[in-house]
Amino acid sequence: MSFPAERPRRLRSSEGLRRLVRETALSTDDLVMPLFVETGSAKSEPIPSMPGQFRFSADTVAAECAELYELGIPAVILFGIPERKDAEGSEAWREDGVVQTAIREIKKKAPDLVVMADVCLCEYTDHGHCGVVEDGRVLNDPTLDLLARTSVSLARAGADVVAPSDMMDGRVRRIRAALDEAGFSDTVILSYAVKYASAFYGPFRDAAGSAPSFGDRRSYQMDPPNSDEGLREARLDIEEGADIIMVKPALPYLDVLRRVKDEFARPTAAYCVSGEYSMIKAACERGWLDERRVVMEALTSVRRAGADFVLTYFAKDIAKWLGGK
Ligand code: PBG
């Protein structure tokens, strides 16, 4: 069929028709809200490079989570900012660590909210790298036990999902084995399987104080031009026991997301990271873009590219726009 019998505009001629033939929907069900927690109480400190985002303490993050749950958001992911950092990042696996404490408070206030905990050492190490450092190099194998220990401690605190974001090889297998051995065979692993060495993490590193003190993350996070390698990374994590695989960042890597979803047909997430948030925010603050329309368009594109759900700092705003539960 071709013109004049076929007129694609016919199905665009009313909102009712557009709604009927719409292929992708972004729903509150698809959103995970990232939250930063630090020690102390009654805190909600604005993060300058991420307007509208805050550093919470355990009590205020629990109240925030109750609100997010009421808005219909199914899950949050937590990042910790510890008071003390050391070479190994030992605050990451302390029983009364900053995230462990927050999880216990959240579970009291919002027991049915899915709590995900990011597993990485960079917020906890004094050098800011995601693993053990020796002679200026980030070592893979000695890091695995620390990640496994951290994961078990987060599961023990009540995390439903652990999300390793370090990009060490073999960590999913090690974490799965440690969780199972500790009796947490139902704890879900969401792996940052395809995580790029991206410049879009800048505002997060300000927020979490986790910028590396020397060098960069290019010896462990992926090289942005590569996409076949992303499939290999995803395959390895699935073989090692990842329940959900993630591509990160989202918008600059929609092609990779589509390939990963098509190739593996697994539950797949995408992380719309801090820089993606802040660049939209900055343009909207200047009145250059219409925030609500741009955010809905951008996040819908992530779903269209194959993400089952999206980690986004816009989650709360979107849930409000979509009208709650
Ligand atoms: C920890 C981690 C980072 C992000 C999520 N987990 C920072 C990094 O890898 O440097 C970035 C999230 C964001 O930018 O929103 N490794």
Say yes or no: CB of residue 118 within 6 Å of ligand 1: yes
CA of 226 to the centre of ligand 1 (A): 19
Residues pairing with 244 in the sheet: 190
Are 29 and 73 in contact, with CB atoms under 8 Å apart?
Answer: no
- Res 59 pLDDT > 90: yes
| Average pLDDT score over residue span 100-119 | 98
pLDDT tens digits, one per residue of 248-259: 999 999 999 999
Share of the chain above pLDDT 90, in %: 98
- Best residue among 127, 194, 201 to mutate for probing ligand 1's pocket (most ligand atoms within 8 Å of CB) is 201
Tell me, which fold does domain 25-323 have in CATH?
TIM Barrel (3.20.20)
CA of 134 to the centre of ligand 1 (A): 22
Which pLDDT score is estimated for 325?
46
CA of 151 to the centre of ligand 1 (A): 17
Query: Quick one: tokens of 112?
Result: 């049915």
130 CA closest ligand 1 atom index? 16
Say yes or no: CB of residue 130 within 6 Å of ligand 1: yes
Q: Is the model's pTM score more than 0.95?
A: yes
Query: Quick one: tokens of 287?
Result: 């009145």
Say yes or no: CB of residue 278 within 6 Å of ligand 1: no
CA of 5 to the centre of ligand 1 (A): 51
pLDDT confidence bin for 279, thresholds 50/70/90:
very high
pLDDT tens digits, one per residue of 76-99: 999 999 999 999 999 999 999 999
Mean pLDDT rounded to a whole number for the chain: 97
| Average pLDDT score over residue span 145-154 | 98
- Res 57 pLDDT > 60: yes
CA of 2 to the centre of ligand 1 (A): 48
State residue 29 phi and psi, 5-degree precision. Answer: -60, -20
Are 35 and 67 in contact, with CB atoms under 8 Å apart?
Answer: no
Say yes or no: CB of residue 273 within 6 Å of ligand 1: yes
Name the helix (H) or strand (E) containing 260.
helix 254-264
Q: Write out the catalytic residue numbers.
A: 195, 248
Say yes or no: CB of residue 168 within 6 Å of ligand 1: no
State residue 90 phi and psi, 5-degree precision. Answer: -65, -15
pLDDT tens digits, one per residue of 178-194: 999 999 999 999 999 99
Counts for the chain of helices (H) and strands (E), in that order: 11, 12
Which pLDDT score is estimated for 313?
98
pLDDT tens digits, one per residue of 218-252: 999 999 999 999 999 999 999 999 999 999 999 99
195 CA closest ligand 1 atom index? 9
Which pLDDT score is estimated for 324?
53
Which pLDDT score is estimated for 213?
94
Say yes or no: CB of residue 198 within 6 Å of ligand 1: no
Residues in the chain, total = 325
Which pLDDT score is estimated for 202?
96
201 CA closest ligand 1 atom index? 14
- Res 285 pLDDT > 70: yes
Distance CA 105, CA 58 (A): 6
202 CA closest ligand 1 atom index? 14
Q: Where are the alpha helices (DSSP H) in 71-217?
A: 98-109, 141-157, 171-181, 202-208
The residue whose CA is least distant from atom 11 of ligand 1 is: 201
